[in-house]
């Protein structure tokens, strides 16, 4: 069982702890109680060389000042809500905008900027850590007191399972996601040479404010078609209006969910990332309907972490979640949770090499 290690303290003196999970396959995962943040995932490559494949920092201080959500849990609502406003049961809730007039990843002090409680555990040959916190009613404008649990479980084979649950005492909206930036090369070189597959035949187009228009469009014949493996860099700079809006990929794909995950019938295959040179591979499975693929377009070289300087596109995010702005689009998958119901979402990141 992973014992907590000191990882610094917040400005008010509260201690932050770090947990290290180790698998028999050589994969190691570290996560801290600030933001329930994954700080490191070490994965062996084809030749046995081990490398940290997520962008992160070796100390707490940079996490307190960065705004890129590196490795954190984002919520209470991941992604964007237009005009930081939604209507639920006839009542309009005004949230705290932090992305122009919109809300991004839960607001100015979302779950990524909160201290969680941590406890490690074992389950057979698997190692895990459980993070919990209470989000009070009115936090960032959201209704309802929310009891939230995040579990990271590392299997003996090197798969990281992320499980989210939440319960509320009043109707509210919930959408949690893990915001790790992956770079399977173990460096800060742009991820343009990574091969990506996304099991989705449609995506949700956005406007200039990065908010979905509400339509579902086919990926066929566009730079958004990753149904077969393709280098991320092949079309990322095409003169496509959607790519200009996001300065690259920053869109939600509508998962087809026609390929089961195998050992967990509740999960379905979502995506694969491969780094051909090192042989490292990441397969993603999820219970969620959407996958936000973000190609790190707004990293700008001002952050310096464990692998070096995080230049533009030094990492990619695969955020499994409800659709962006779902509360304002009745045709999108609902994100409402009511008293007596339990919010539940699960994702598995399976690491391997070929």
- The larger pLDDT score, comparing residue 266 to residue 105, is at 105
Name the helix (H) or strand (E) containing 246: helix 241-246
Is the model's pLDDT at 258 over the cut of 70? Answer: no
pLDDT of residue 257: 78
The domain limits of the chain are 5-353
pTM > 0.85: yes or no: yes
CATH of domain 5-353: 2.70.98.10
The Cα 95–Cα 32 span in angstroms is 27
Digit-coded pLDDT (tens) for 35-60: 999 999 999 999 999 999 999 999 99
Band of pLDDT at residue 259, cut at 50, 70 and 90: low
Is the model's pLDDT at 291 over the cut of 60? Answer: yes
Is the model's pLDDT at 260 over the cut of 70? Answer: no
Is the model's pLDDT at 232 over the cut of 60? Answer: yes
Tell me if 58 sits within 8 A of 306, measured CB to CB.
yes
Digit-coded pLDDT (tens) for 120-148: 999 999 999 999 999 999 999 999 999 99
Residue 317: other Cβ atoms inside 10 A: 25
Tell me if 330 sits within 8 A of 214, measured CB to CB.
no
Count of H-run helices and E-run strands, the chain: 2, 29
pLDDT of residue 264: 59
Mean pLDDT value of segment 5-20: 98
Catalogue the active-site residues. 179, 319
Tell me if 260 sits within 8 A of 293, measured CB to CB.
no
Is the model's pLDDT at 342 over the cut of 70? Answer: yes
Is the model's pLDDT at 30 over the cut of 70? Answer: yes
Digit-coded pLDDT (tens) for 163-173: 999 999 999 99
Alpha carbon separation from 247 to 103, 136, 240, 294 (Å, rounded): 19, 36, 10, 10
Digit-coded pLDDT (tens) for 174-201: 999 999 999 999 999 999 999 999 999 9
SS3 (DSSP) at 142: coil
Digit-coded pLDDT (tens) for 53-104: 999 999 999 999 999 999 999 999 999 999 999 999 999 999 999 999 999 9
> How many degrees, rounded to 5, is the angle at CA 164 between CA 202 and CA 281?
60
- Dihedrals phi, psi of 233, to nearest 5 degrees: -75, -10
345: left (phi over 0), alpha (psi -120 to 50) or beta: beta
Average pLDDT score, the chain: 96
- Asked if the peptide bond before residue 83 counts as cis, ω within 30 degrees of 0, the response is no
- Asked if the peptide bond before residue 9 counts as cis, ω within 30 degrees of 0, the response is no
Tell me if 292 sits within 8 A of 26, measured CB to CB.
no
Tell me if 349 sits within 8 A of 162, measured CB to CB.
yes
The Cα 145–Cα 169 span in angstroms is 6
pLDDT of residue 178: 98
Residue 45: other Cβ atoms inside 10 A: 20
Show Cβ contacts of residue 126 under 8 Å, excluding neighbours closer than 6 positions: 153, 154, 155, 156
Mean pLDDT value of segment 1-24: 95
Structure tokens given for 155: 């299997």
pLDDT of residue 263: 53
- Dihedrals phi, psi of 179, to nearest 5 degrees: -110, 45
- Dihedrals phi, psi of 130, to nearest 5 degrees: -115, 125
Digit-coded pLDDT (tens) for 263-284: 555 799 999 999 999 999 999 9
The Cα 182–Cα 19 span in angstroms is 20
Band of pLDDT at residue 304, cut at 50, 70 and 90: very high
Tokens 């019938």 -> residue: 265
């Amino acid at each position: 069982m992973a014992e907590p290690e000191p990882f610094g303290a917040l400005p008010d003196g509260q201690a932050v702890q770090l947990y290290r999970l180790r698998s028999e396959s050589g994969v190691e995962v570290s996560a801290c109680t600030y933001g329930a943040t994954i700080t490191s995932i070490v994965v062996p490559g084809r030749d046995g060389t081990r490398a940290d494949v997520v962008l992160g920092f070796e100390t707490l201080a940079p996490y307190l000042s960065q705004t890129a959500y590196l490795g954190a849990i984002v919520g209470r609502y991941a992604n964007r809500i237009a005009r930081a406003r939604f209507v639920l049961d006839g009542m309009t809730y005004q949230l705290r905008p932090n992305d122009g007039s919109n809300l991004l990843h839960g607001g100015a002090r979302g779950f990524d900027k909160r201290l969680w409680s941590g406890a490690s555990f074992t389950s057979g040959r698997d190692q895990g850590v459980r993070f919990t916190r209470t989000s009070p009613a009115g936090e960032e404008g959201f209704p309802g007191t929310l009891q939230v649990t995040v579990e990271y479980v590392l299997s003996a084979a090197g798969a990281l399972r992320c499980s989210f649950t939440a319960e509320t005492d009043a109707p509210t909206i919930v959408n949690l996601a893990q915001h790790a930036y992956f770079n399977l090369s173990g460096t800060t070189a742009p991820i343009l040479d990574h091969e990506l597959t996304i099991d989705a035949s449609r995506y949700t187009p956005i406007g200039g404010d990065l908010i979905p228009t509400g339509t579902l469009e086919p990926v066929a014949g566009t730079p958004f078609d990753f149904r077969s493996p393709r280098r991320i860099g092949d079309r990322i700079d095409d003169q496509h209006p959607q790519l200009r809006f996001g300065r690259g990929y920053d869109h939600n794909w509508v998962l087809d969910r026609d390929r089961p995950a195998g050992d967990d019938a509740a999960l379905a295959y979502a995506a694969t990332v491969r780094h051909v040179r090192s042989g490292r591979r990441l397969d993603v499975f999820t219970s969620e309907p959407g996958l936000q693929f973000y190609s790190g377009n707004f990293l700008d070289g001002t952050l310096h972490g464990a692998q070096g300087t995080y230049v533009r596109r030094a990492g990619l995010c695969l955020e499994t979640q409800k659709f962006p702005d779902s509360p304002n689009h009745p045709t999108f998958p609902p994100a409402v949770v009511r008293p007596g119901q339990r919010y539940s979402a699960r994702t598995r990141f399976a690491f391997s090499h070929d």
